[in-house]
Structure 1
């Protein structure tokens, strides 16, 4: 595992709660008169005090800072002592985002720093004129020198006391103030560095990672925060009503109002149709581009990388916070970690963009639900698992081996996000998206879930809120089937994806269906919060029919038009293009009905993530699945601009308002799963199901052995935006591994044993003989013949 760089302490912010939002707009300094702390005009003998060239010093203040605190109505200004800032040498400073503003320190006048230079000469309290007097006055001269010396000593003492008790204290208090600087090496003679603005509210100017600037627009009291010298500072807040990242999010009390960033790091044809259409246009004639696997087979690697760079940017994260949302759910494929030979996915590239997502979420106060969306072999056979076709996780001849690899990837991701640098941003972890539980069977899926849960808790430690909430999809089995699952487990939530559009189709317009979510989901979600624990709608949309380009897949048709036949025949109920997709011509009544439908969904689900934030244009230049785009709905007026408008839409007089039980939130009893439950759900399962309901004992199937070295994921490269000050501190981005005591090897093939393609299909028989090496065969049989109880995870040390 990689070693960590030197740690560092964050630079103090020069601000108070009522300070200006930028050091560029500090008020001008007070004048030198009127202070109760001043040097007398003359000494006791009537001789004027003068400076180095004989000019009388007059009533020049000796430490103006005290006067500022004596007079509550005085104009406050930030001193060099309190801010540690360095200013340009001209009389005015400028920034790319602000007009030039007066710099009170650049005109060669008084400064309240001991030893501060005026021009080329240091400011001193000396009197050379009196040194020219005759020797007959030596006793008077001695008294003068003693008096001046005593005065200087008093000044130094007062300056030191005020600096450490008032100004330094103020300069180091708080993290959410106005600004900071990139350096504090002020020598007094030649100010060098520009001020780096590190935070701001509505209307402030943000410098993006790529060096561009844009206006931060957030009417809900949020603030952004980014300091290259303190890149893991959690000073941002999405909205005034959402806990800041440096505060506790109380699950079950604070509401998750989130959106998925679908189609970005795991592509889907209906979310980014233009990408798929463009690659298809130049693909070999024998390849139909229907998923990410075929996209790459058709030569779409550079197109995919361009998509990563452009489809979602930093501004999207700002806009999500500005929409009143406080969470993002980000799908990630296993290929972000590794790809084995012949699997055909783009390895590790998407991970670098997930690291950007963490940085952007931190900058704008958003929390992340990391969703492991695609597993080796596919857990559901759908195009968004990376490869359309069969599903081979916990199902079929490679079902155990693929699950073993998947559990390794859960462990690797958990180790990364459980590190101190990331745990307050990535606070939920969906360990597997939409597994086909109805075919896999709940017993087998439950065993996998317990082992994955243990992998996460081994990385993060049990109790005290360590590590992320573990999110378990219901596997399409329904909430009732999971009642009482994993009692006393430490922070486990149930993930539901309630959609209306894939059920029975209806020609009823949206104006007649706007309250349907309340009836369909409200009571179920409310009851599940009590019977199971924390339940979240990880996906839902505004779609009530399955119309939309590629919504069901490329070339598969729609149920509404009677052209989709994979789940039986459906009658033709109309024309999608004119009845549902002509969003450019929706009238106010239609838009209002969609907005009411969205609010009904939000209120019924209580904690939710809309699917999805953005739908890209097709090559026709328009969005052709409008019901799925939160961003488009905001722009066109059919999504609520403030999601709090949804509260009470369903008329629920007793919604679940928490709190969750102590063990559900990492408190007392968290992690103490009863032994009989653990025994009943031991891993691996004794058998799994094949196509047609045939079962096979696990020890007759290909399995891996923990013989490989654990992999670690790299942290981000912290680099300044173009034109911005460079970092002055070394940054520890984490080693990639939260728990050094988690040392088990990664799963690898056994020498002498046979394995099938991970996507082989569930109707193929396992290899026979399974292993030609007798020793390996015996080891595999012993390892898999009887399930073992998973050890309780160690607390992080």
Structure 2
């Protein structure tokens, strides 16, 4: 709202002054007291008596004026509100006025542009008409020499018309400039008034500046106008000087200049624009075809076009064809400035040609190649040749390396080869891959091509691609001398239990196995594969994960597994190898190709495969190894039932694919869902889904010899007695002492005792159909006696061993140390140290603890260690445990057995270790 307390405020924005009848402002005279309404006047005695009488009658009505104060406040508020409304109305009107002014300005600009274009077109038509009339007449040489008075009159008449046309144009242009200058001054004046009104609410400074500017412009109006006129006259003078031999349309759009507006017969314009003479020059072919706009105006005032070219060609040929032939062969083409000035006779044309020859204008010479062009060509050709040579060397190197050492993934085997001896990508051509093929069908986008069939095929089974699979396979291999080859039946797992290992953290990420993939600032919240891919984005996630798939597990991994006396391998993978839903950020289908190659490598070394669907749509347990940590969305939540159906769809496609005959001998177990959390989910609902999935798998043709595996859901082995076993099912239990707050506190001796007695008894109970389900396997276990491995209990959750495990659930938290000492001496330093620093007593304990568990689980149908390899967690890596001597070199030849009856006490080993 405007300020009314400023002495210098103008009448238009503040209070109004009283005016006399003459219209001149009349100021109030200050009172003697210096305040308004306090001047004193002498009253008569009668008037004073009347006033006293009125005050006595209604003393309460006047009082001290306090009752009238609210009314005065209300009136002030009304005035302020009216002022605010008026200010808003003025602002709105001002904005509308600005919009109208801008629209008028744009409309005026459009009209002026249209006027300029129309004027230019009229001028062009007039010039073409005059040129056609002039070129249409062919006077005799005698008349053209000026002997006749008629010829001179015609020449003067044409010159007069040109001068009149130019004067008329300059006059109209001057008027247009004046009109635009006046409009610009009006706009500036209006803009200053607008800024003055807008600046009233913010202070007087900007208004004073505007007033100063107005006063300065008022005092020096003539000087401003004179300067503008002088500038305009200078531009006109410059135009006249530079237009001595040709005509420039200053109103035209110079962005559309075709390069010939700068050409004149005398060469002045070309020299002035010589730095730009190579720009926008049409080719000779364009000129010959008549597609160029040609010259604006020559020395005779005519434009060049095809008709003029034809006429002048004949005239020039008669005068001197040699020079003209050279002229016509120039890149610029056409006639440039060869027209006669005011006449069309051949002698004058020849004179003009001779003048051009004498001046030796640059455009009459044959263009010479600059001296550096040859060097540039040499550099260019040399670079191309070098690049070709480098490519040839690279291709040869790749072929040679693949013949000797294979490629991709760190594998030691050679790549796929044919009878010609080629290997890898050298055996195919890029042309064999259809354009637009997805990455999982395009070997040129794969991080590894080792042991893949690279011949393109879009064939699918169950909607899943077979691309990469070799057509031939051999099931004659055996894992070791104590097991049967794949093409022979295993026999009874009750008498010959499985001894295997997991390939955890490979195709389904787990932070504690590969912490380097999750080494981000904790504020980013990257705790699982979902958040990792969401953060990296599709392209970076693809390159990061495929590089991991190609290198973390290689062919040598399977070779070493078989050499360790193991005969089975469990391969965890997740649903995004088959399908993705609802904008999942997961890397789609790439892991599928590596799963198939992993099965073929297992086949090569006689290892039987336990397929493990580790992550289901929505997450079946809410843990990071299911893909997404947090809420359970399978059988739970808004999309719970939808995700149940999606998981059945995934098994439908998987079972169709693995029902192929080539997988009958190598796939021994088919896992439905890893660790469904039945302490949270309904056990009855999970079992109904299990029966439906098993029926679907058998219906799709998976062999009855393949054992279908379902998890116990951490409900305990005594809860499954009486459950139906129609489809050759086996119950999967995962045994870890360290994830139980009551068991992690066991001493070293108690841990081994519980493994030998507790887990043996549980397994025997479960194997008996009278007390348990029946067939039971232990698909996960570890020799680790602490939960100290970083990220083991999810990223950022701490550990139980030192009392830092906080998941926000009082029944699961471990906020006090849980090592056997249960005090501040509990430390993770020893457990996480390099195994070379382990004491002999600690190594012996870890070996004994591992062998005790193997012995206990072999009372069932076998076991799979978690996991084969890790980046740093030694006690969770079978491979690193073998190297450190804390696992048996041969899983079937062990130094400790629970049946020996003697369990070492390890009294000399500190319980904090």
The alignment's TM-score, normalised by the length of structure 1, stands at 0.51
Give the superposition deviation at 1:396: 2.5
1:253 to 471, 474, 495: 495
Give 5+ residue unaligned stretches, structure 1: 1-94, 98-180, 184-191, 195-207, 213-227, 617-622, 654-797
Identify if the C-alpha distance between structure 1 residues 506 and 387 changes in structure 2 by more than 3 Å, giving closer, same or farther. closer
Q: Which digits, 9 at most, give the CA deviation of each residue in 1:566-593, with x for residues without a partner?
A: 2234312444432422233102221121
**Alignment match, 1:643:** 891
Asked if 2 retains the 8 angstrom alpha-carbon contact of 1:548 and 1:576, the reply is: no
1:514 aligns with 2:752: yes
Q: Secondary structure at the match of 1:289?
A: coil
1:600 aligns with 2:855: no
Measure the CA separation in 1 of the matches of 2:451 and 2:768.
48
**Alignment match, 1:609:** 864
Identify if the C-alpha distance between structure 1 residues 483 and 507 changes in structure 2 by more than 3 Å, giving closer, same or farther. closer
Asked if 2 retains the 8 angstrom alpha-carbon contact of 1:418 and 1:468, the reply is: no
1:430 to 650, 668, 671: 671
Q: Which digits, 9 at most, give the CA deviation of each residue in 1:134-171, with x for residues without a partner?
A: xxxxxxxxxxxxxxxxxxxxxxxxxxxxxxxxxxxxxx
**Alignment match, 1:307:** 548
Larger strand share, 1 or 2: 1
Give the superposition deviation at 1:635: 0.5
**Alignment match, 1:672:** none
1:210 to 442, 445, 450: 450
1:269 to 511, 514, 534: 511
1:496 to 730, 733, 741: 733
Q: Secondary structure at the match of 1:577?
A: coil
1:571 to 799, 816, 823: 816
Give the superposition deviation at 1:550: 0.7
Measure the CA separation in 2 of the matches of 1:641 and 1:365.
19
**Alignment match, 1:627:** 875
Q: Which digits, 9 at most, give the CA deviation of each residue in 1:225-283, with x for residues without a partner?
A: xxx98732101110011111111012322220000000000001100011221xx26xx
Give the superposition deviation at 1:317: 0.5
**Alignment match, 2:633:** 392
**Alignment match, 1:538:** 779
Asked if 2 retains the 8 angstrom alpha-carbon contact of 1:515 and 1:597, the reply is: no
**Alignment match, 2:831:** 580
**Alignment match, 1:22:** none
Identify if the C-alpha distance between structure 1 residues 591 and 569 changes in structure 2 by more than 3 Å, giving closer, same or farther. closer
Measure the CA separation in 2 of the matches of 1:542 and 1:229.
38
Identify if the C-alpha distance between structure 1 residues 584 and 652 changes in structure 2 by more than 3 Å, giving closer, same or farther. closer
Identify if the C-alpha distance between structure 1 residues 548 and 561 changes in structure 2 by more than 3 Å, giving closer, same or farther. same
RMSD in angstroms over aligned alpha carbons? Answer: 2.8
Flag the structure with more relative contact order, 1 or 2, with Cα contacts below 8 A and sequence separation at least 6.
1
1:475 aligns with 2:691: no
Measure the CA separation in 2 of the matches of 1:442 and 1:305.
37
1:403 aligns with 2:637: no
Identify if the C-alpha distance between structure 1 residues 307 and 406 changes in structure 2 by more than 3 Å, giving closer, same or farther. same
Measure the CA separation in 1 of the matches of 2:404 and 2:629.
49
Give the superposition deviation at 1:442: 1.4
Measure the CA separation in 2 of the matches of 1:647 and 1:450.
41
Give the superposition deviation at 1:340: 2.1
Larger mean CA deviation between 581-590 and 255-264 belongs to 581-590
Q: Secondary structure at the match of 1:254?
A: coil
Give the superposition deviation at 1:483: 1.1
Give the superposition deviation at 1:554: 1.0
Asked if 1 retains the 8 angstrom alpha-carbon contact of 2:737 and 2:744, the reply is: no
Give the superposition deviation at 1:452: 0.9
Q: How does 1:158-307 map to 2 (within 5 A)?
A: 210=450, 231-250=472-491, 251-277=493-519, 280=520, 287-299=524-536, 300-301=540-541, 302-307=543-548
Asked if 2 retains the 8 angstrom alpha-carbon contact of 1:600 and 1:646, the reply is: no
Give the superposition deviation at 1:451: 0.6
Measure the CA separation in 1 of the matches of 2:897 and 2:845.
13
The alignment's TM-score, normalised by the length of structure 2, stands at 0.44
Asked if 2 retains the 8 angstrom alpha-carbon contact of 1:514 and 1:594, the reply is: no
1:527 to 759, 762, 765: 765
Q: Secondary structure at the match of 2:828?
A: helix
Give the superposition deviation at 1:513: 3.3
Asked if 2 retains the 8 angstrom alpha-carbon contact of 1:235 and 1:244, the reply is: yes
Q: Secondary structure at the match of 2:886?
A: coil
Give the superposition deviation at 1:466: 3.1
Q: How does 1:71-86 map to 2 (within 5 A)?
A: none
Q: How does 1:670-681 map to 2 (within 5 A)?
A: none
1:352 to 571, 593, 615: 593
Asked if 2 retains the 8 angstrom alpha-carbon contact of 1:417 and 1:467, the reply is: no
1:441 to 682, 699, 703: 682
Identify if the C-alpha distance between structure 1 residues 411 and 375 changes in structure 2 by more than 3 Å, giving closer, same or farther. same
2:619 to 369, 378, 383: 378
Give the superposition deviation at 1:303: 1.4
Give the superposition deviation at 1:539: 0.3
Give the superposition deviation at 1:414: 1.4
Give the superposition deviation at 1:647: 8.8
Measure the CA separation in 2 of the matches of 1:359 and 1:485.
35
**Alignment match, 2:317:** none
Larger helix share, 1 or 2: 2
